[in-house]
Chain A
Amino acid sequence: MGNELLKGLKGRDLLEPLDFSTEELEALFDLADRIIEHPEKYTEKCKGKILATLFFEPSTRTRLSFEAAMLRLGGEVIGFSEPASSSVAKGESIADTVKTVACYSDIAVMRHPKEGAPLVAIRAVDIPVVNAGDGGHQHPTQTLTDMLTIRREMGGFTNITVGLCGDLKFGRTVHSLAKALSRYDNVNFVLIAPEELRIPEYIKKGVLEKGKIQYKEVERMQDVLPELDILYMTRVQKERFFNEEDYIRLKDTYILDAEKMKLAKKSMAVLHPLPRVNEIAVEVDSDPRALYFKQAQNGMYVRMALIMSLLGIEG
């Protein structure tokens, strides 16, 4: 059944996580698990194929993850990582740039500062296009990475309590994860944020309440740590605050350190989309519950599964 679902992904694009059904995601995560289990079986799966990275703004982490994924599948990579070095600097449209690149490659990955740019690309070409982040809009492979990590730790997505912490107002990865997880049964959300950075109304009403998801909003991490199965940390950015006093008052409330980790369950997993600044103290890194670097590695594996599936390569 999983193979049939994956076959259905051939030639498709990925603009946002909801583009794939929950069944298709399960099949994709199953494939990622198989790759993690036996990476040596996949080293030639994409031999002869080329992945194009079209990064109209720099994003080293995401680009390296995609490039590593393709190389570990035995494929090759071409691309650019900033517009100044490409024809974009000459005023070429996104559609024309992508159409040209599609002549040389089998699959394209695009990162662009303007929202909706990947949709322009998807409409311009026939090869699969993956959105690697468009402005503050979507970053679907980050959500797939987060989901794969949660699934591997918790065994699935049902009956879990997920704490989302930090900047819930502007945090793109938080919104995307909330939307993706709201498709599963009995997911409880604990929203940990200062008043200024609470999750927007349209997510509360349009996603959580609409999906009859249980959630609560708190300001102090310490009050809720014992309840959480997953703690998803995000950075509280100084520039988001109206005045510096508020930032100073709040910035340390949202720092996870060894002391706070004592309050958490032995099985709680700590995730972070990275880069982290000071919101997770370095002392937490050696705690076995700290999974953010494993999460980054999972990102490469889920991208391998995605590339294979969109190219119609079985595994």
Chain B
Amino acid sequence: MLVDSIENGIVIDHLTAGLGLKVLSALGVETRGDTVALIMNASSKKYGKKDLVKIMNKVDVDLAILGLIDPRATVNIIENGEIVKKIVLTLPEKVVNVVKCKNPRCVTTVEPNAPQVFVLENPETSEYRCEYCDEVVVLKGEWENELMHL
């Protein structure tokens, strides 16, 4: 299978095999109309298998969401056929409007313009704490189903 290299855009490499579709959905790529290539289960020297995403045209990729979904991925910014920037993802310290607080007693359930803000509590367990009510949520595993669709 051959997918051309891109002239200008973004390559998200070393995604955990199987997460590529979730990443595309989380980044809202399908609604923007960009030209996108997704390769699933490609072979990887490093990990055995990987997913790969190429997006033509430089777009603003939400590194916080990516860092949450698959922190092992790398993001390469391509300009004129060259990699001009490599971004290594980390778990974000703070996530805003990514997931909703599930605590029914939290003020975010009633206050119309209060942003959903979670602060990293424990990087080893991916535990995040709601800034308002201190309820802790684990953003690991199957949590992508909780993504807020804004």
Interface residues of A (CB under 8 A from B): 93-95, 112-117, 119-120, 134-137
Contacts and interface: CB of A to CB of B under 8 A. Distances in A.
Contact of A114 (B105, B130, B134): B105
B48 interface: no
Contacts of A137: 105, 133-134
Interface string B101-131: 0010111111111100000000000000011
Interface residues of B, number: 17
Closest 6 CB pairs of A and B: A116-B132, A115-B133, A114-B107, A116-B107, A117-B107, A116-B133
A134 B133 CA distance: 9
> Which DSSP category, helix, strand, loop or mixed, fits chain B's interface?
loop
B109 to A, nearest CB: 7
B90 to A, nearest CB: 24
Nearest to B114: A120
Given A115-B133, A116-B132, A95 B113 contact: yes
Contact of B111 (A94, A113, A134, A136): A94
B111 to A, nearest CB: 5
A120 B108 CA distance: 9
B106 A115 contact: yes
5 contacts: A112-B107, A114-B106, A114-B111, A115-B103, A115-B105
A119 B131 contact: yes
A4 B130 CA distance: 33
A314 B104 CA distance: 42
A93 B106 CA distance: 14
B108 to A, nearest CB: 7
Contacts of B106: 114-116
Contacts of B103: 115
Interface centre among B103, B111, B135 (most CB of A within 10 A): B111
